[in-house]
Homo-oligomer: A and B are copies of this chain.
Amino acid sequence: MTSRRPSIGVFDSGFGGLTVLKALLELVPDADYVYFGDTARLPYGSKSVETVARYAVQSAHYLEKQEADLLVIACNTATALAFEQITAAAHVPVVGVVEPGADAAASASRNHKVVVIGTQATVGSHAYKKALEARGLAAREKACPLLVPLVEEGWVEHPVTEEIARIYLNEGFDDGFSDADVLLLGCTHYPLLKPLLRRVAPAPASIVDSAESTARAVAPRMQQLLGESRAEQRRAVPRLKFFATDSVEKFKLLGKRFLGHPIEDVRHVDLQE
């Protein structure tokens, strides 16, 4: 019997997607994982649709070459701006973070009002607004461009970060959205700020994390693939492989903050430049 365990390809512009991988490892431990971080060209959040789509499709193809059976676009900006292009270019099923996030927000909201925070590019695409409105919810989107650099600086519990988050959320929960009862984290860096955002967000608002909801959306998709693998394979510990377009050392250093444990097997990749 040489049949291999199913492999999930997880893609992000950098490190944020590791929060999705972390949730996946908890919910879908029966698979192997290949993670691709396009760290040489990060961040995507301040870039145009054309640039993000080109980079994301290259990254998706790279994961397919690594024999991924399913692709998870663990990047809100790439999902928001380029989900259709990635799906069209890929030969395996693709799961993004926007639809699962919108589903989770719809389940959590009672008054159908959601505040979404994300990068400039994600907010500019209105992907969340469209997905939420399609589910009968009203959405207020607020770009928070400083939160990613603050997380990458490691200031996840810093008073300055709290002040900046308060400024952003005050502008989000405003103009008819002061009673919104869901704060949707539309960026995979933001789960690291959850305790701080919990203190700053209005008390009645629940926080929905698109990393967790994406992992929950992947679980049933894996059932079919898992059905084909043998029982002893299913019990094995997931194998993890990491690829990054910038420094491997930096990936190990920053990555462990997002994944929550040390990262070993990282390889450097050049995307034909």
Residues in chain A within 8 A of chain B (CB atoms): 39-42, 46-48, 50-51, 54-55, 58, 145-146, 148-150, 152-153, 160, 163-164, 167, 245-247, 250, 271-273
Choice from B152, B247, B272 contacting A48 with Cβ under 8 Å = B247
Task: Point out which of A47, A54, A163, A167 has the most chain B C-beta atoms below 10 A from its C-beta.
Answer: A47
**CB pair B152 A51 closer than 8 Å:** no
With contacts A47-B246, A48-B246, A247-B48 known, is A273 near B54, CB below 8 A?
A: yes
Contact of A46 among B47, B152, B167 (CB under 8 A): B152
Residues of B within 8 A of A272 (CB): 273
A167 to B161, CA, bound (A): 13
Q: Which residues on the B side are within 8 Å of A164 (C-beta)?
A: 160
Given A40-B47, A48-B250, A247-B47: A152 and B145 interface contact (C-beta under 8 Å): yes
B-side contacts of A245, CB under 8 Å: 51
Contact of A160 among B50, B58, B163, B273 (CB under 8 A): B163
Query: How many protomers of this protein does the assembly include?
Result: 2
User: Within 8 Å CB of A39, what residues of B?
Assistant: 47
Give min CB distance, A42 to chain B, whole Å: 8
Do B163 and A153 have beta carbons less than 8 Å apart? no
Chain B residues lying within 8 Å of A58, measured Cβ to Cβ, are 273
- When distances are taken between beta carbons in the complex, the residues of chain B under 8 Å from A47 are 39-40, 246-247
| A163 to B115 CA separation, bound complex (whole angstroms) | 28
Closest to A163 in B: B160
Instruction: Tell which of A51, A148, A152, A160 has the most Cβ of chain B within 10 Å.
Output: A51
- Assess whether A153 is in contact with B145, with CB atoms less than 8 Å apart: yes
Q: Which 9 A-B pairs have the closest CB atoms?
A: A48-B247, A149-B149, A40-B51, A51-B246, A47-B246, A41-B41, A48-B246, A145-B153, A146-B149
Residues of B within 8 A of A247 (CB): 47-48, 50-51
CB distance from A96 to the nearest CB of B (A): 22
Kindly report which residue of chain B lies nearest to residue A270, judged by CB atoms. Answer: B54
Give the chain B neighbours of A273 by CB distance below 8 A. Answer: 54-55, 58, 271-273
In angstroms, Cα B152 to Cα A149, docked, is 12
Give A42 to B149 CA distance when docked, in angstroms: 13
Give the docked Cα–Cα distance between A164 and B163 (Å).
Answer: 11
Which residues of chain B are within 8 angstroms of A163 by Cβ–Cβ distance?
A: 160, 163
In the bound complex, how far is the Cα of B39 from the Cα of A273, in angstroms? 16
Chain B residue at smallest Cβ distance from A154: B145
A55 to B271, CA, bound (A): 13
